[in-house]
Structures are given as structure tokens and as C-alpha cells.
């Protein structure tokens, strides 16, 4: 395994592309979906179940881990991979998004952001440099720059400010990682991704994308989307942004999404995703299947002896009846959350695999149309 982070596009089909990210902890076939392990665990799943579901890379949250158990503690314990028993690649977000959405009394300046922990109210400071330092302490494979993520709708002036600040922070993050590399506290293979901001304003998105591209970072994320704006706008903004990013670098669409969102985004050139949807929905009794979303609370499943997916590879989807899953969900049993989280992550990974195969075989558009038609009849 090379010590260097490397991305290769193997084939394109329209704007969709299939490729691979090589890291020193393994190769990630793209497009790839990252389950979210906020606090160093993907909720209600064991690492073995995650791997069995076909997961090649996880995302964990810098914000959650810096507050509890603390980045220095994880470093003393040997790093995040050993701590959570996940030896494949990990991407860590920068903490910026959670500071905006979870922390109390936050104050943002050009220097960084000061906030109070949602757990115990203690005051913390996150700067672009500290975000890199934390990610080095965790030992993740892909780092995200600290960015300013603002809620939509926002004024042009607010958006411009967030774009400018995020760019300045990207420069500081790159410099900070360089310092860590010089000190020997980061590995050569560590990849820092920049984050494009700019809301749904094409001109601002272009400005942000071009400035980041000039920095020649190993990968680029598109942030600040899927935060409440209409889906068409999300997708169109992503498409325009992706076209401004270099073709030979991975494009990560943050926080997306439903199975259909993933298909639409891959069609527009996305390579990497993260979303809490499969696990959160699983904890709320909802399953993703090739025939659409299934709400297992629904009484129609009470005597259904069939599984979620008789042809699936995942034991949770293949081996347990809908009647049993319905019972577990109604009785609020742990096993309901366990099995549905597992089945949903496995479904998401099967979906990514199917997309990669369709792109590799040059039939992505046909596959996408047929699959979207099957996925539509979903149940509330």
C-alpha cells in the first residue's frame, strides 16, 4: 500500500465517474458512502457489522470527539482507529458544521470560533489550526478544513463573508498541516480537503471553487448544501460547482442524502458522501429497500413473514421477517435499531456498488432511470 493519498478516475459515463481513492489504510472504490460515527461509533452497529455491510470508509465528528473523550486522550490511547476498532480509512469533519448546529453561545471571528459544549457548557475554541491539530491527534486519513457553514436563506453579504472566511481558513489549514508534517505529528499520507461554500449563488460557488482549486488540495468538498433548500436547487448548485473543480480530484458532497439524492448527485459528478440517514432512519423504524422506503411501524407488516430483502447479502435484511422487525420497533427494542441500522447501511453500500458497476459498464443513465422508478413508491 502506497504511503501517499491517491485518487484515480477509472471511467466516466456522462458526468458520473467511477474511481478509487488509495490510502495507507486501504482503497476506497468511488462513488463511496460514508456512514456517520459521530462519537466514535456508528450508532447501534458493531465494527464487524459495518464491514460486513460493505463499508470502506467511515466519517467521524471532530466536534463530538474533541468534547468527549477529547482528542488528546484518543491520541494517548493510540489514535481513533484502534480506539473504535476500525482499521479502514476514516474521514474526520472539521467540527465547523456541528459548532453551528449543536453548540451554545457560539461566536465567530476571523480567528476562529468560540463556543460552549452542548454536553457540559464548557468553553472551547476551534481555529483552523486547532481543527487540523485535533484531526492529527485522532489520526484520521482524510481531514476537512474548518469552514464557516451558514444557514440558508442568507444574504449575499453573509454568503460572501462565509466564502472569504472559509478560503482564508483553508489557507491556514493547509499551512497548519504542513507544520504538523514538519513536526512529525501528521503522516505524509494525510489528505486535507477544502470545502466550497457560497450557498446557492453560482457566482460565489465558482469563486470559492476556483480559489480552492488554485491551492491544489488532494480533494474538495461541497458544503453548505442540503440545508433546507429545494432538492433541484441543491443538485443544480452541486453540478455547477463540480464543473469548476478539477476532474482529477475527488468531490465530496457533504451531508447527502436519500438513495435518490445519491443517484442524482453521482450523475452530476459526486464521488463521496456522508449522511446519518441510514442509521437515524433505522433507529426510527424505517428501512431502505430496492422497492423504496418501508415504515416498519405500519400495521401492514404485523403478520408479514417475508424479510426486507430475500435476495440481500445482509443478514439483517435477509433473515428476519418484517413481522419480527415490526414487533421489535413497536416494543422499542434495541434489536430493532440494531437490525434496521445494519440493513440500511448495507442497502446504501449495495446502492453504491450498483452505481459503480453501472458506470464502469457505461450504462449509468439507464440504470439510474430504472432504479429511481423502483425507489419512488415509498411508504410514510
Residue 319 is a binding residue for a second copy (CB under 8 A):
yes
Residue 339 is a binding residue for a second copy (CB under 8 A):
yes
Is 274 one of the annotated active-site residues of the chain?
yes
Considering only 1, 8, 73, 125, the residue that binds a second copy (CB under 8 A) is: 73
Is 93 one of the annotated active-site residues of the chain?
yes
C-alpha cell at 217: 488540495
Residue 87 is a binding residue for a second copy (CB under 8 A):
no
Residue 302 is a binding residue for a second copy (CB under 8 A):
yes
- The CA R_g of the chain, rounded to the nearest whole Å, is 20
Residue 137 is a binding residue for a second copy (CB under 8 A):
no
Residue found by looking up cell 450508532 in the block: 43
Residue 118 is a binding residue for a second copy (CB under 8 A):
no
Q: Work out how close the CB of 183 gets to a second copy at its nearest, in angstroms, rounded to a whole number.
A: 23
The candidate with the shortest Cα–Cα distance to 103, out of 74, 124, 129, 134, is 124
Q: Work out how close the CB of 278 gets to a second copy at its nearest, in angstroms, rounded to a whole number.
A: 14
Number of residues located near a second copy, criterion CB under 8 A: 38
Considering only 32, 52, 59, 84, the residue that binds a second copy (CB under 8 A) is: 84
- State the catalytic residue, choosing from 93, 141, 147, 309: 93
Considering only 110, 210, 216, 303, the residue that binds a second copy (CB under 8 A) is: 303
Residue 63 is a binding residue for a second copy (CB under 8 A):
no
Tell me whether residue 105 or residue 331 sits nearer to a second copy (CB atom): 331
Tell me whether residue 156 or residue 334 sits nearer to a second copy (CB atom): 334
Residue 366 is a binding residue for a second copy (CB under 8 A):
no
Three-state SS string over the chain comes to CCCCCEEEEEEEECCEEEEEEEECCEEEEECEEECECCCCCCCCCCHHHHHHCCCCCEEECHHHHHHCCCHHHHHHCCCHHHHCCCCCCEEECCCHHHHHHCCEEEEECCCCEEEECCCCCCEEEECHHHHHHHHHHHCCCEEECCCCCCCCCCCHHHHHHHHHHHHHHHHHHHHHHHHHHHHCCCCCCCEEEEEECCCCCHHHHHHHHHHHHHCCCCEEEECCCCCCCCHHHHHHHHHHHHHHCCCCCCEEECCCCCHHHHHHHHHCCCCEEECCHHHHHHHCCEEEECCEEEECCCHHHCCCCCECCCCCCCHHHHCCEHHHHHHHHHCCCHHHHHHHHHHHHHHHHHHHHHHHHHHHCCCHHHHHHHHHHHHCCCCC
Residue 276 is a binding residue for a second copy (CB under 8 A):
no
Helix axis angle for 259-267 and 334-360, nearest 10°, is: 20
Considering only 5, 7, 63, 83, the residue that binds a second copy (CB under 8 A) is: 83
Considering only 1, 2, 10, 85, the residue that binds a second copy (CB under 8 A) is: 85
Residue 300 is a binding residue for a second copy (CB under 8 A):
no
Residue 298 is a binding residue for a second copy (CB under 8 A):
no
Residue 295 is a binding residue for a second copy (CB under 8 A):
no
Stretch that binds a second copy, among 33-41, 142-150, 258-266, 365-373 (CB under 8 A): 33-41
- State the catalytic residue, choosing from 141, 147, 271, 274: 274
- 59 and 36 Cβ atoms separated by less than 8 Å: yes
- 363 and 267 Cβ atoms separated by less than 8 Å: no
**Interface mask toward a second copy for 34-53; x: CB under 8 A:** -----xxx-xxxx-x-----
Residue 164 is a binding residue for a second copy (CB under 8 A):
no
Residue 58 is a binding residue for a second copy (CB under 8 A):
no
Residue 104 is a binding residue for a second copy (CB under 8 A):
no
Catalytic residues: 93, 274
Binding site for a second copy (CB under 8 A): 39-41, 43-46, 48, 68-69, 73, 76-78, 82-85, 302-303, 305, 315, 319-321, 323-324, 326-328, 330-331, 333-335, 337-339
Amino acid at each position: 500500500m502506497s504511503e501517499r493519498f491517491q485518487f484515480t478516475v477509472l471511467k466516466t459515463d456522462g458526468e458520473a465517474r467511477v474511481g478509487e481513492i488509495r490510502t495507507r489504510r486501504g482503497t476506497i472504490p468511488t462513488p463511496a458512502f460514508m456512514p456517520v460515527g459521530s462519537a466514535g461509533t456508528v450508532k447501534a452497529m458493531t465494527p464487524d457489522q459495518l464491514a460486513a455491510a460493505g463499508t470502506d470508509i467511515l466519517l467521524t465528528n471532530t466536534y463530538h470527539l474533541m468534547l468527549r473523550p477529547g482528542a488528546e486522550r484518543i491520541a494517548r490511547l493510540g489514535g481513533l482507529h484502534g480506539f473504535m476498532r476500525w482499521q479502514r480509512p476514516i474521514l474526520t469533519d472539521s467540527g465547523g458544521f456541528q459548532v453551528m448546529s449543536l453548540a451554545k453561545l457560539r461566536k465567530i471571528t476571523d480567528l476562529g470560533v468560540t463556543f460552549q459544549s452542548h454536553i457540559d457548557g464548557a468553553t472551547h475554541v476551534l481555529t483552523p489550526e486547532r481543527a487540523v491539530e485535533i484531526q492529527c491527534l485522532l489520526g484520521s486519513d482524510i481531514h476537512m478544513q474548518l469552514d464557516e457553514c451558514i444557514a440558508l436563506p442568507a444574504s449575499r453579504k453573509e454568503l460572501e463573508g462565509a466564502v472569504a472566511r472559509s478560503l482564508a481558513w483553508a489557507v491556514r489549514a493547509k499551512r497548519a498541516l504542513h507544520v504538523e508534517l514538519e513536526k512529525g505529528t501528521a503522516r505524509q499520507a494525510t489528505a486535507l480537503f477544502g470545502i466550497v461554500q457560497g450557498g446557492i449563488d453560482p457566482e460565489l460557488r465558482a469563486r470559492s471553487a476556483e480559489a480552492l482549486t488554485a491551492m491544489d488540495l488532494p480533494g474538495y468538498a461541497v458544503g453548505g448544501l442540503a440545508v433546507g433548500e429545494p432538492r433541484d436547487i441543491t443538485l443544480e448548485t452541486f453540478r455547477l460547482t463540480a464543473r469548476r473543480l478539477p476532474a482529477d480530484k475527488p468531490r465530496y458532497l457533504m451531508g447527502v442524502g436519500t438513495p435518490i439524492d445519491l443517484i442524482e448527485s453521482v450523475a452530476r459528478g459526486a464521488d463521496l458522501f456522508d449522511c446519518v440517514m441510514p442509521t437515524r432512519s433505522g433507529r426510527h423504524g424505517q428501512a431502505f429497500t430496492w422497492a423504496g422506503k418501508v415504515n416498519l411501524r405500519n400495521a401492514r407488516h404485523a403478520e408479514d413473514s417475508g424479510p426486507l430483502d430475500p435476495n440481500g447479502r445482509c443478514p439483517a435484511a435477509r433473515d428476519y421477517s418484517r413481522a419480527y422487525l415490526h414487533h421489535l420497533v413497536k416494543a422499542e427494542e434495541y434489536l430493532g435499531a440494531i437490525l434496521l441500522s445494519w440493513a440500511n447501511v448495507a442497502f446504501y453500500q449495495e446502492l453504491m456498488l450498483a452505481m459503480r458497476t453501472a458506470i464502469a459498464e457505461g450504462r449509468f443513465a439507464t440504470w439510474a432511470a430504472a432504479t429511481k422508478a423502483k425507489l419512488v413508491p415509498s411508504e410514510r
